[in-house]
Amino acid sequence: LRLRAERRQHNDRMTRAMESAIQALASALELRDQYTAGHQRRVAQLAVAMAARLGLTQEQMRGLYLAGVVHDIGKIYVPSEILTRPSRLSPVEFALVKTHVEAGYEILKGIDFPWPIAEIVRQHHENLDGTGYPRGLSGKQILLEARILSAADMVEAITNHRPYRPALGLSFAFEQLRASAGTRLDPEVVQACIDVFEKDGFTFEKPTLPAS
């Protein structure tokens, strides 16, 4: 019993250390890019609320939250003048931004998480119909957590200020979600996203971390 308790305590310490490392990585990116400060945290918060509606376990939600708070960590390799430019990017510049998913995967893949965090990060710009990037995955080839993160990422981006445009509001975000259901986004995930706002009263305030 003592050995079992010590092993559990060790595992708890290791999990807390990994979570602290994840938070540090997220903070490093946010300090570099003031315009998206808080973006990763807000996306993670919404993703967890959606996951609860979709019936994911507490353990799955915890991994999803941590993937959310570092889903854009690969942007640390993208020049800051591109990330903060208040105008449309050229095709070459946008292609450079798109490399952030593979860069994020490379940063995270060597860490022995109990969740597929690196793969979730790698897949969060894949589309249900296979038109996304970096690998053109489709349907159930895309992890459910990545499908959730993709919708949460879209809503947060639309409803918050960006260097190249003002916030566009929740109604417009819902229009875009519905228009993307079945092509870019999973329809069940889209409905869960709308429901957490309309039925659960979700807001981007008071972020929470799923319980251990």
User: At residue 133, what is the residue type?
Assistant: Y
Residues 6+ apart with CB under 8 A from 45: 65, 68, 204, 207, 208
Is 75 considered catalytic here? yes
Q: Which two tokens stand for residue 196?
A: 């957490």
Q: Among the options 75, 98, 140, 199, which is catalytic?
A: 75
Q: DSSP string spanning 83-111?
A: HT-SSPPPHHHHHHHHTHHHHHHHHHTTS
Backbone angles phi, psi at 152, to 5 degrees: -65, -40
The residues annotated as belonging to the active site are: 75
